[in-house]
Amino acid sequence: MGHRRRIPGCRMLITGASQGIGRALALLAVRQGAMVLAAARSGDLLRQLAAEARGGPGTLEIVEADVTVPEDRHKMAAAMVEYFGGLDVLVNNAGIGATGHFAEVSPERLRKIMEVNFFGLTETTRVCLPLLKRGDRPAIVNISSIAGKRGIPARSEYSASKFAVQGFSEALRCELAKDNIDVLVVCPGLTQTNFSKNMLEQKARLQLDHLRGMTAEEAAAAILKAIRKGRDETWLTWQGKLMAWVSRLFPRVADRFAASRVRALFRDEIEAREQSRRQRTQVPTHLV
């Protein structure tokens, strides 16, 4: 467990703040008295967010920035100093996804996902570390996923990026203990956001029903609670917790279940391949 902290007066940078969990988190933090810099690529959506946040006990400023662009990462850090004089909590929330089987998609897609979900996160953290070292009860909050605890078929690239976030966070937590900087990880499950609509591609045969998940506001409340209590790791939704625990305690069961689901989806293809194999190995009758 890390340090407990108060949200009122906390200076917070949230990436990917124009939609979904990031947007809900920015609004909730401002309503609880935080000083928030909301960063995202869409200026129009950020301005809508700023208008909605007016009148709260906290303060919200915006900055158009892409976490994959070095200059933009430095722009976010400079904006924190300009608006609030420093940084206490960095929330690395920006992320993208895609679905489809690894063998059927381009290598460029994997590199794009890793560039945003992993390298954008790590390099934003690197730029912000000098500010965090001077912050009040500082923390880095990495928004991972239940897919970072259990690889999900047809989401191998996204899962890989979140597993990378998980490993980076665990190592960094120990490295930054000497600086009294907490590294917290939050793993959302299915969430009612536009994440699936904003994916690079959707090629999975089985689509996950995000409408059955928790709301973005519920996820935001859980993230703020983790920040207040200094929880090293938080798993969201009961389905996500079940998946993570089964994967941890009974990995072979989880593997068999996932493989059976894939086989069921590709039953026709598997049967056609088997039929073709039998035909190739069948001995012609005139040779008997």
Active centre residues (catalytic): 18, 144, 158, 162
Distance CA 41, CA 47 (A): 11
Which residues does 80 contact at the CB level (< 8 Å), separation at least 6? Answer: 11, 13, 37, 86, 87, 128, 131
- Residue 198's H or E segment, with its range, is none
Tokens representing 86?
A: 């420093």
Tokens representing 267?
A: 């039953």
Please provide the DSSP assignment of 64-125 as one string: E--TTSHHHHHHHHHHHHHHHSS-SEEEE------BS-GGGS-HHHHHHHHIIIIIHHHHHH
Please list, residue by residue across 116-135, b when 16 or more beta carbons sit within 10 angstroms of its beta carbon and e when fewer do.
bbbebbbbbbebbbebbeeb
